[in-house]
Amino acid sequence: MRFRVWVYGVLAFAVANAAGDAWDVAEAGAVADGETDCTAAFQKALDAAGAEGGGTVHVPAGHYRLDGTLRIPGGVTLEGTFRVPPMNRHEGQPKMHGSVLLAYAGRGSREGEPFIRLAGSMATLAGVIISYPEWQQSDVPPVAYPPTVLAEHCENVGILDCCFLGTYEAIRLEQAARFIVRNVHGYPSFRGLYVDACYDIGRVENCHFWPFGVHYQHDDPYCQWVNTEGVAFEFARTDWQYVQNTFCFGYGVGYKFSKSDNGACNGNFLGIGADSCRRPVLVEDSQPPGLLITNGEFVGRWGSTDSVGIEILEHAGLGKVSLNNCSFWGPLDRCIWLKSPKVQVTAMGCNFVKWDNTYAGSPAIQIDEGRAIIQGNTFGEGDLHLRIGPLVLSALVVGNQAGGGLNVQNWAGRRAQFMANEFDPFEWTDEAKAHYRVDVGGEGDRRYVREGFGPEPAAERPDREGPRRWSSGNSVLKLPVLPDRAYTIDIEVYVPTYAADEANGLYLGDTRVVDLSLNEQITVASGEIPPTGKDEVLLRLRIKSWRPSEHIEGSTDNRELGVAVRSVTMRAGKPRQRVFDAGAGQWME
């Protein structure tokens, strides 16, 4: 039953039905034209619902301008029609369908009243897009605002099916036990979610902080700011925190575990992901029950040289960090770095795909202090798998696999124990190092060729007897050598016309040791490498890059290629009768 009463020209209303009480902001006077300030109409409907003990205030589809702030009373749900995120770009801007709230209040300061306050227990915000029309990507650093949604000193609040566009800090929850945040999207610049003083099982589910509404380029000034200063998820004191199926992209820190005056976090983190983050996970502190991270996927910041997948800082307390079935790849310097003497780290069944992206000799896992169990993991592209520092109290390393054998630097002596780890089947004798060949694209070549592309099928080669693997414009060869010997290097390559450049070559540091400026031919180019004093040499292929799609008719291949490499032969002194096959790990006939 609906009834309306006119009082002094203002519509007072209520809606009653068998399913419960419901209100509508349009009936309270809200106009969905994107220009009329609807703050008073929204608050009137919310207060009416609160006065009746709770209910749902509906927001029909449309764009509603709000110059002020809103308070959702306890037991009241403000609900719109939004359920899934908008298209990221539509003629330069995201196309926003459904119930859209245009926020104007608070520009220029983090302090002040939040745009929406969940002002009592069981207050809920659901089904809306909140957009800041005054946001501009050219503002660097981003213009500050108070939190978009804040709940404090209340319980059982909810934020469901919402999207935040152009927001500075999306959600802040303090002393809000048993909250639920579910199906939230957006790209908050300063921080996506902050939780503190939650002493009873908060839940975060299916949240996605990704460049919605942003023209993303990793070197764009705005994106760089978020990618170095922004935090997607931050957890301070929260007990029995549950986080499930969440993802973030392009943040300085993906998941930050901090310590407030109230303490730190413990919780269960299942299926969490962080892509292109300078620190996918940063642990400043945790409670003794620990952080239980399962099925995590962590990728370093695009274009970075210092990204660490999971970094545990020196002052972290007595907590434990348990990693199970996690994967690490992308531009990472290190995958896990434990710096605290009080923390215990366990990594079980994890996959370390790639690290040491600057070839500085960084390990996949570095344990400076504390305790660690490294068990049942697999290691891919990278030479040093584990570095154990002299201050480590205990390290148990059991049942790990790496194609060239598990490579460990152990400075902890007997405090580190090893069992059943894969060993290197190769026997790199001095004789083998003196004269060997790498068939690029063949078995085992990934030990020596980095930042290149996969082997090419025969039909796609420039010549059926020719090159085997395309380099990028800046690929790397990492080759064993005898420290006190000079070498002759022969590299068999195909240089297409599109890659021709006078500066092309194979470089040792800034010195070109092999000239590769020739083009449109298969050739064996040679050069001399002086003694390095080390047991390996790092050579970089610096080549003018090109895209097949831009030069070859009918090609859809957008890779940035360099030259195609078939083989590399290293020889110290005169040729020898026997040549070692460095891919197969055996002598050639």
Q: Cα-flanking dihedrals φ and ψ of residue 224, to 5°?
A: -60, -40
CA–CA distance from 454 to each of 450, 459, 548, 553 (Å)? 11, 14, 15, 22
What is the pTM for the complete model shown? Answer: 0.84
pLDDT higher than threshold 70 for residue 411 = yes
At 41 the pLDDT is: 98
For 420-471, what is each residue's pLDDT tens digit?
A: 999 877 788 999 999 999 999 887 787 888 888 877 654 444 544 544 789 9
What fold is seen in the domain 430-587? Jelly Rolls (2.60.120)
**Cβ within 8 Å of residue 12, ≥6 positions away:** 4, 5, 6, 48
pLDDT higher than threshold 70 for residue 19 = no
Span 397-401, average pLDDT: 97
At 403 the pLDDT is: 82
For 521-578, what is each residue's pLDDT tens digit?
A: 778 999 999 999 999 999 999 999 999 999 989 888 888 999 999 999 999 998 888 9
Rounded-to-integer distance, Cα 458 and Cα 535, Å: 34
Query: What would you report as the CA-atom Rg of the chain, rounded to the nearest whole angstrom?
Result: 30
Span 324-348, average pLDDT: 97
Span 316-334, average pLDDT: 94
At 538 the pLDDT is: 93
pLDDT higher than threshold 70 for residue 89 = no
CA-based diameter of the chain, in Å? Answer: 106
At 93 the pLDDT is: 61
For 223-252, what is each residue's pLDDT tens digit?
A: 999 999 999 999 999 999 999 999 999 999
What fold is seen in the domain 1-229? Pectate Lyase C-like (2.160.20)
For 139-173, what is each residue's pLDDT tens digit?
A: 999 999 999 999 999 999 999 999 999 999 999 99
Span 285-299, average pLDDT: 97
Span 185-202, average pLDDT: 97
Alpha helices in 400-446, H assignment, sequence order: 430-434
What does the chain come to in residues? 589
Q: For Cα atoms 123, 125, 128, give the angle at the middle one, nearest 5 degrees.
A: 165
DSSP 446-483: GGTEEEEEEEPPGGGSSSTTS--EEEEEEEEEEEE--T
Rounded-to-integer distance, Cα 459 and Cα 450, Å: 24
Same fold, 1-229 and 430-587: no
Report the share of the chain in percent with pLDDT over 90: 74
Rounded-to-integer distance, Cα 357 and Cα 382, Å: 9
At 443 the pLDDT is: 76
The residue among 168, 62, 20 whose CA lies nearest residue 105 is 168
- Partners of 438 in the beta sheet? 568
The residue among 389, 345, 390, 401 whose CA lies nearest residue 363 is 389
At 457 the pLDDT is: 57
Q: At 3, is the pLDDT very low, low, confident or very high (cuts 50, 70, 90)? A: very low
For 488-514, what is each residue's pLDDT tens digit?
A: 999 999 898 889 999 999 999 999 999
Quote the DSSP letter at residue 494.
E
Span 324-335, average pLDDT: 96
Q: At 406, is the pLDDT very low, low, confident or very high (cuts 50, 70, 90)? A: very high
The structural domains of the chain, with segments of one domain joined by +, span 1-229, 249-425, 430-587
At 408 the pLDDT is: 93
For 33-50, what is each residue's pLDDT tens digit?
A: 999 999 999 999 999 999
At 461 the pLDDT is: 46
Per the prediction, the chain carries an average pLDDT of: 91
Q: At 418, is the pLDDT very low, low, confident or very high (cuts 50, 70, 90)? A: very high
CA–CA distance from 322 to each of 133, 350, 373, 556 (Å)? 42, 11, 9, 43
Rounded-to-integer distance, Cα 292 and Cα 297, Å: 14
For 347-363, what is each residue's pLDDT tens digit?
A: 999 999 999 988 788 99
Span 117-131, average pLDDT: 97
At 559 the pLDDT is: 86
